Structure 1
Amino acid sequence: MASDQGNMPFIKHLASSDRKIRTSALSTLRTFLSAPATARKLTDLDYMKLWKGLFYSVWMCDRPIPQQNLCTELAELLSVLPTPNDDEGAAVIPFLRAFWATLSREWTSIDVLRMEKFLLLVRRVFGASLAWVGGGKRGKKDGAWTGTRADSMLRLLQEWPLESKGDLSKVPVGLRLHVIDIWVDETEKLELLDQESEDDSAEDTSGKVQFLDRIREIVEVQTKSTCKPVRMRARESMTDDRLPWNNTASPDREMADDDSDGRGSWDGFKD
């Protein structure tokens, strides 16, 4: 598909100062992206143009509730993109790559009064990205958390928000720090940290463990970053008490807890 606005005339309306025009344009975009014959033919440049329009749609949106709703709607665009079984991520990954590239390019131009809504946008899109790997908000999909979807999403995270090779300056420090700040929150929402759920089969549990371990490896690389704030924030995130590997009691602690006669501890004098 040719990369010009003649094929996607609604792009300029996404950045309109008129809320009704922006809302109508977003509805048109949703329909446009849901058509397999259309979305899969878009080029990387087409997706970049789409996200430029969507970026300014958020930029122009005022008041907290409309901003929250818009960020959620943009994240939910992932659910309308075609994902045929024989070509997982054919549209989703290029769409997300354009998102990260656009946010990285524009991040330092966002003023302090607008930053909060863009932080929310990143959180919503990041969460929706992880949910897509599992097949939905609850991660219910055959072979969830493993296979092509997981591989392609993890490669994308390594390529953009948490990239560690090549030109490290392509992702602003502030954006990188925010992703490090939210990754535990978003994995918890998808029950990836609860790896012993009674509702999961053995295969589901194994998939969760594998996917979380692979994210762990990506974040661990950030603990060796040449940027001190990134390095420190990544190390801090890895010690979050919600992470399963931080919930294992030490042998000494277990011995103390199992000491039936109470000699393993002393609670001081009682009043």
Structure 2
Amino acid sequence: MMSSVDAPPLAKYLASTDKKTRDKAVKNLAVFLSNDAGNAISDLEMAKLWKGIFYCFWMSDKPLVQQALASELAELLLTITDVPSSLNFLRGFWTTMVREWSGIDRLRMDKYYMLVRRFVHASFRLLIRIEWDNSAYEEYNSILSGPSGPLCSNDIRVPASLAFHLADIYLEELDKALSVTTPSPPLPAPLYTALSPFLSLAACTQTKTTYKHLQEALFEPLFTALKPARSESPPSRKKPRLAAPAFQTLVSNACVSNPKQEGAMPSEGLRKALLQKVFDVASEEETRDSNRRKMYALYRDGVEDDEDSVG
């Protein structure tokens, strides 16, 4: 049983106007977190800690400094030796991003987009390291979809632009994490598990633009990447889409939901299984009717594209 501990009083040093003081505070934070196995920082202390980290990053004003600091902060997820403590630190990150996002000015937004990208990448490396442990992955998804999470569908405080950015980068960062992680190759990525928070948001969002962005930025590029190339396939009856990212490493090393049992699946079988998952989520009672129709259409278009390819 983990005990709750207080973090050292680093927040005020992290938010210092003096760069040397901030740099030293980040180093001390890494040391503290690396020795935190078996302990959980209290919610109050975590909130204070992340407020300090947020403003530490806020005051980093040169591109190379911003990039280095973003990487250093994200690596803290992997520095923490206890997985629940690492996920608790990640929860603090997302809670802070959701709370502070609307206050980020236009000139600083790009660097916070970068920070989010670094944390998504580090999160996938953590999940790969623990071999996609099911309970940890469920907790990770609950951080994204639960209260104060960036993919929460029923919290009007969650900025849509944050969910949009996640949809834009999610599969790209998963593909990168699979490419750079040792052992090589890692266990296959469970794609349905990865997509679950986005499918839940697509099913329940009340905003047309959010659904549209999820489909165009995430679902369609993935299904396009999973569709095997055929040299002499008949033209699709569907209108051509813009070229999508290939996600080559991901396509060659992914499964539906159970890496150890399923192993890396052929892209055709994986595409078919994931299309069926879209249909299943669309069929759930809590799915909004307007979104249900769009998800059924996504499923139907995918099945018809497959029929065109083999017919």
- Tell me the TM-score normalized by structure 1: 0.76
Q: What CA distance in whole angstroms lies between the structure 1 residues aligned with 2:65 and 2:46?
A: 24
Give how far 1:148 is off. 2.5
Aligned to 1:25: 25
Q: What CA distance in whole angstroms lies between the structure 1 residues aligned with 2:105 and 2:193?
A: 34
Q: How does 1:136-147 map to 2 (within 5 A)?
A: 141=130, 144-147=131-134
Aligned to 2:106: 112
Cα distance change, pair 242–19 in 1 and its aligned pair in 2 (3 A): farther
Aligned to 2:260: none
Q: What is the one-letter code of the residue matched to 2:136? A: R
Which of 234, 237, 240 is equivalent to 2:221?
A: 240
Whether the 8 Å CA contact 1:158–1:218 is kept in 2: the answer is yes
Whether the 8 Å CA contact 2:5–2:39 is kept in 1: the answer is no
Cα distance change, pair 117–251 in 1 and its aligned pair in 2 (3 A): same
Q: How does 1:42-81 map to 2 (within 5 A)?
A: 42-81=41-80
SS of equivalent to 1:168: coil
SS of equivalent to 2:178: coil
Q: What CA distance in whole angstroms lies between the structure 2 residues aligned with 1:26 and 1:243?
A: 42
Aligned to 2:309: 253
Measured against aligned partners, the alpha-carbon deviations of 1:116-146 in whole angstroms (never above 9, x if no partner) come to: 11111111111111211111xxxxx5xx124
Q: What CA distance in whole angstroms lies between the structure 2 residues aligned with 1:55 and 1:190?
A: 24
Which of 107, 110, 125 is equivalent to 1:131?
A: 125
* 2:154 matches 1:162: no
Aligned to 2:242: none
Percent pairwise identity = 33
SS of equivalent to 2:16: coil
Give how far 1:8 is off. 1.9
Measured against aligned partners, the alpha-carbon deviations of 1:86-109 in whole angstroms (never above 9, x if no partner) come to: xxx321121111111111111111
Whether the 8 Å CA contact 2:178–2:185 is kept in 1: the answer is no
* 2:171 matches 1:184: yes
Give how far 1:11 is off. 1.6
Aligned to 2:202: 223
Measured against aligned partners, the alpha-carbon deviations of 1:29-58 in whole angstroms (never above 9, x if no partner) come to: 111111136x72410111111110000011
Measured against aligned partners, the alpha-carbon deviations of 1:183-213 in whole angstroms (never above 9, x if no partner) come to: 1111111239xxxxxx648xx33xx2xx211
Whether the 8 Å CA contact 1:162–1:176 is kept in 2: the answer is yes
Q: What is the one-letter code of the residue matched to 2:124? A: L
Whether the 8 Å CA contact 2:94–2:144 is kept in 1: the answer is no
Q: What is the one-letter code of the residue matched to 2:98? A: S
Q: What CA distance in whole angstroms lies between the structure 1 residues aligned with 2:201 and 2:155?
A: 11
Whether the 8 Å CA contact 1:51–1:99 is kept in 2: the answer is yes
Whether the 8 Å CA contact 1:51–1:102 is kept in 2: the answer is yes
Segments of structure 2 that go 5 or more residues without pairing to the other structure are 229-267, 269-304
Q: What CA distance in whole angstroms lies between the structure 1 residues aligned with 2:71 and 2:143?
A: 21
Q: How does 1:183-222 map to 2 (within 5 A)?
A: 183-191=170-178, 200=185, 204-205=187-188, 208=189, 211-222=190-201
Whether the 8 Å CA contact 2:57–2:66 is kept in 1: the answer is yes
Measured against aligned partners, the alpha-carbon deviations of 1:155-201 in whole angstroms (never above 9, x if no partner) come to: 2222112123xx42132111111111111111111239xxxxxx648
Which of 86, 97, 100 is equivalent to 1:92?
A: 86
Whether the 8 Å CA contact 2:5–2:40 is kept in 1: the answer is no
Whether the 8 Å CA contact 2:60–2:66 is kept in 1: the answer is yes
Cα distance change, pair 77–242 in 1 and its aligned pair in 2 (3 A): farther
Aligned pairs, number: 225
CA RMSD between the two structures: 2.3
Aligned to 2:291: none
SS of equivalent to 2:112: helix
Cα distance change, pair 242–191 in 1 and its aligned pair in 2 (3 A): farther
Aligned to 2:274: none
Q: What is the one-letter code of the residue matched to 2:151? A: L
- Tell me the TM-score normalized by structure 2: 0.66
Whether the 8 Å CA contact 2:10–2:49 is kept in 1: the answer is no
Structure label with greater radius of gyration: 1
Segments of structure 1 that go 5 or more residues without pairing to the other structure are 84-88, 136-140, 193-198, 256-271
SS of equivalent to 2:221: coil
Give how far 1:113 is off. 0.4
Aligned to 2:115: 121
